[in-house]
Amino acid sequence: MELCNLKDPAERASFATAVRRGIGHGQGLFFFTRPLEPIPGLDGLLDMPFVPRSQRILRHLIGDEIPSLEDMVADAFSFGAPPVVPADDHIHALELFHGPTLAFKDFGARFMARALGAIRGDAPLTILTATSGDTGAAVAAAFYGQPGIEVVILYPRGKISALQEKLMSTLGGNIHAVSVEGTFDQCQDLVKASFDDQELREAVGLNSANSINISRLLAQVTYYFEAAAQLRDSGRRLLFSVPCGNFGDLTAGLIARALGLNARFAIACNANDTVPRYLRTGRFEPRPTVATLSNAMDISRPNNWPRVEALAKLQGWSLGEFACGSLSDDETRAAMRSLYQKTGYVLEPHAAIAWSVLAQHRRDDEEGVFLGTAHPAKFKSVVDATLGIDLPLPGALASRAALEGQALPMQPDFAALRQLLLSLRG
Ligand SMILES: *Cc1c(COP(=O)(O)O)cnc(C)c1O
Q: Are strands 149-156 and 175-180 parallel, antiparallel or unpaired?
A: parallel
CATH at residue 93 = 3.40.50.1100
Each residue's pLDDT, cut to its tens digit, for the chain (426 residues) gives 999 999 999 999 999 999 998 888 888 999 999 999 999 999 999 999 999 999 999 999 999 999 999 999 999 999 999 999 999 999 999 999 999 889 999 999 999 999 999 998 888 899 999 887 678 888 999 999 999 999 999 999 988 888 888 889 999 999 999 999 998 889 988 998 998 899 999 999 999 887 789 999 999 999 999 999 999 999 999 999 999 999 999 999 999 999 999 999 999 999 999 999 999 999 999 999 898 999 889 989 998 999 999 999 999 999 999 999 999 999 999 999 999 999 999 999 999 999 999 999 999 999 999 999 999 998 999 999 999 999 998 887 888 888 999 999 999 999 999 999 999 987
Ligand 1 centroid–CA 250 distance in Å is: 10
Name the maximum alpha-carbon separation found in the chain. 63
345: left (phi over 0), alpha (psi -120 to 50) or beta: beta
Q: Whose Cα sits closest to atom 4 in ligand 1?
A: 245
Residue 308 CA to residue 310 CA, distance in Å, equals 5
**C-beta atoms surrounding 222 within 10 Å:** 26
Is 138 within 8 Å of 213 (Cβ atoms)?
no
Ligand 1: residue of 350, 357, 370, 378 to mutate (most ligand atoms within 8 A of CB) is 350
How far apart are the C-alpha atoms of 176 and 424, rounded to whole Å?
Answer: 10
Q: Terminus-to-terminus CA distance in the chain, angstroms? A: 36
Do the Cβ atoms of 164 and 191 come closer than 8 Å? no
Report which ligand 1 atom has the smallest distance to the Cα of 251: 7
R_g over Cα of the chain:
21
Name the CA dihedral angle for 248, 378, 161, 132, rounded to a multiple of 10 degrees.
0
Q: Does 197 reside within a domain?
A: no
3-state DSSP: the chain helix, strand, coil percent, rounded to 5?
A: 50, 15, 35
Measuring from each residue's beta carbon to the nearest atom of ligand 1, which residues come in under 6 Å? 103, 105, 134, 243-249, 296-297, 350, 373-374
Tell how far the Cα of 34 is from the centroid of ligand 1, in angstroms.
27
Q: How far is the CA of 296 from the centre of ligand 1 (A)?
A: 5
State the pLDDT at residue 34: 95
Residue 319 lies in a domain: yes
Q: How many CB atoms lie within 10 A of CB 293?
A: 24
Question: Of all protein residues, whose CA lies closest to atom 1 belonging to ligand 1?
Answer: 296
Q: Which of 96, 242, 373, 383 has most ligand 1 atoms within 8 Å of CB, for mutation?
A: 373
Question: Is residue 29 in a domain?
Answer: no
Q: How far is the CA of 213 from the centre of ligand 1 (A)?
A: 15
The closest alpha carbon to 373, from 262, 239, 244, belongs to 244
If you measure from the C-alpha of residue 357 to the centroid of ligand 1, how many angstroms do you get, rounded to a whole number? 16
pTM over 0.85: yes
Enumerate the H helices of 1-49 as residue ranges. Answer: 15-21, 42-47
Q: Up-side HSE of residue 378: CA atoms within 13 Å toward CB?
A: 31
74 is a domain residue: no
Mutation test residue for ligand 1: of 249, 254, 300, 327, the one with most atoms within 8 Å of CB? 249
Query: Is residue 360 in a domain?
Result: yes
| Whole-number Å distance between alpha carbons of 424 and 15 | 28
Which of 95, 104, 299 has most ligand 1 atoms within 8 Å of its beta carbon, as the pocket-test mutant? Answer: 104
Any idea of the CA torsion for 142, 145, 147, 151, to the nearest 10 degrees?
A: 60
Report phi then psi at 384, rounded to 5. Answer: -60, -45
CA 284 to CA 265: how far, in whole Å?
Answer: 20
**Chain mean position to CA 233:** 29
Question: Which residue from 274, 282, 359 is spatially nearest to 319, judged by alpha carbons?
Answer: 282
Residue 2 lies in a domain: no
Residue 385 domain boundaries: 83-101+214-394
Domains in the chain, number: 1
CA-nearest of 133, 127, 126 to 158 is: 133
Nearest CA, atom 7, ligand 1: 248
3-state secondary structure of 119: helix
- How many residues belong to the chain? 426
Q: How far is the CA of 252 from the centre of ligand 1 (A)?
A: 12
Q: Which residue has the CA at smallest separation from atom 15 of ligand 1?
A: 296
Ligand 1 geometric centre to CA of 21 (Å):
23
Q: What is residue 50's predicted lDDT score, i.e. its pLDDT?
A: 98
Cα 254 to Cα 312: distance, rounded to the nearest angstrom: 8
What gap in Å lies between CA 129 and CA 135, rounded to an integer?
Answer: 9
Distance (Å, whole) CA 147 – CA 124: 10
Please choose, from the candidates 160, 139, 143, 157, the residue with its C-alpha nearest in 3D space to the C-alpha of residue 378. 160
Residue nearest to atom 8 of ligand 1 (CA): 246
Q: Tell me how far the alpha carbon of residue 82 lies from the centroid of ligand 1, in angstroms.
A: 16
**Cα angle at 299 between 294 and 303, to 5 degrees?**
130
Helix axes 134-143, 162-169, angle to 10 degrees: 20
The DSSP call for residue 252 is: H
Q: 297 C-alpha vs ligand 1 centroid, how far in Å?
A: 6
d(CA 317, CA 279): 14
- The rounded Å distance from CA 418 to ligand 1 centre is 31
Asked if residue 68 is part of any domain, the answer here is no
170 domain residue, yes or no: no
